[in-house]
Amino acid sequence: MPRASSKRKSSAPQNPPAVKSSNARSAGKAKAKEIENFFDKYANGGIIDPDGIVTLCKDLELEYTDVRILMLAWKLKAVKLGYFTQDEWETGLKTLQVNNLSKLKKAISELEKEVRTPPNFADFYSFAFRYHLTEEKQKNIDIETICELLNLVLGPQFRRQVDLLIDYLKVQSNYKVINLDQWLGIFRFCNEISFPDLENYDETQAWPLILDNFVDWLRENHR
């Protein structure tokens, strides 16, 4: 049997840490530039405006009113309805690890699953209201817009409740607008109250008055 050689095999040369760090910085800069170019494709005057979002929707093959566009706004932490700033876009897309249209299409599909988890959905539901406060110091949203939002945001999960609530909101005359507490109360109602029997609804609990009225309307008209 031949004797094993005592000579050690030379290991493959490795890049020194400084080279690895430089490569990582270069890759990061390249991705950042791709995200910036992606932004510029839809931006007008340094911001993506409603026209830019319409174009983005077409490229994503989504309707402008698709809830997934609202989910994207949530992920970008967008502040102004119908607009994405460059900072919102770049920060959000880095979080999503997206730098082009193809990746964004895939990310939006995954984003929908992310939003549907209970903690995230509660935050998204609250965001949907705040995002539609379009005027400075505005605290309420008109009934027509609320009905559209309920259908878009809560409808897929609570179709029967939402349809009846929208019916009620359209025929009642006591409320012209809805505030955040009432909006959040609707979400709690859909999650907690047995429907359609309403057996566990207790008017003595801290429900917004509009929901007490809704329950009275239900009992009178849908028994």
Q: According to the model, what pLDDT value does residue 20 have? A: 56
**Tokens (6 digits) for 196:** 């359609």
Q: Count Cβ atoms below 10 Å from residue 142 Cβ, excluding itself.
A: 12
The helix (H) or strand (E) run that includes residue 59 is helix 50-60
Phi, psi of 84 (to 5 degrees): -125, 120
Given this chain, do its domains 31-116 and 120-222 carry the same CATH topology? yes
> What would the DSSP string read from start to end of 105-127?
HHHHHHHHHHHTSHHHHHHHHHH
User: How wide is the angle at C-alpha 129 spanned by C-alphas 114 and 215, nearest 5°?
Assistant: 100
Look at the block and give the residue holding tokens 């997206």.
Answer: 98
User: Which 8-state DSSP code applies to residue 196?
Assistant: T
pTM of the model: 0.85
Nearest CA to 46 out of 103, 93, 89 is that of 89
Phi, psi of 48 (to 5 degrees): -85, 110
Chain CA centroid to CA 81, Å: 12
Q: CA 125, 127, 130, 134 torsion: positive or negative? A: negative
Helix axes 180-192, 118-131, angle to 10 degrees: 150
Q: According to the model, what pLDDT value does residue 25 have? A: 65
Q: CA 142, 147, 148, 150 torsion: positive or negative? A: positive
198 sits in the region (left: phi over 0; alpha: psi -120 to 50; else beta) called left
List the domain boundaries for the chain.
31-116, 120-222
Q: According to the model, what pLDDT value does residue 6 have? A: 46
Architecture of the domain defined by 31-116:
Orthogonal Bundle (1.10)
Q: According to the model, what pLDDT value does residue 222 have? A: 82
Q: According to the model, what pLDDT value does residue 223 have? A: 63
Beta bridge partners, 85, equal 47
Q: What kind of fold does domain 120-222 have according to CATH?
A: Recoverin; domain 1 (1.10.238)
- Which residues in the chain belong to E strands, given as ranges? 47-48, 84-85, 140-142, 177-179
Task: Please list, residue by residue across 82-91, b when 16 or more beta carbons sit within 10 angstroms of its beta carbon and e when fewer do.
Answer: bebbeebbbe
Q: What is the mean pLDDT of each run of 10 residues along the chain (223 residues)?
A: 47 59 65 94 97 98 96 98 98 96 96 94 98 95 98 96 98 97 98 95 94 96 79
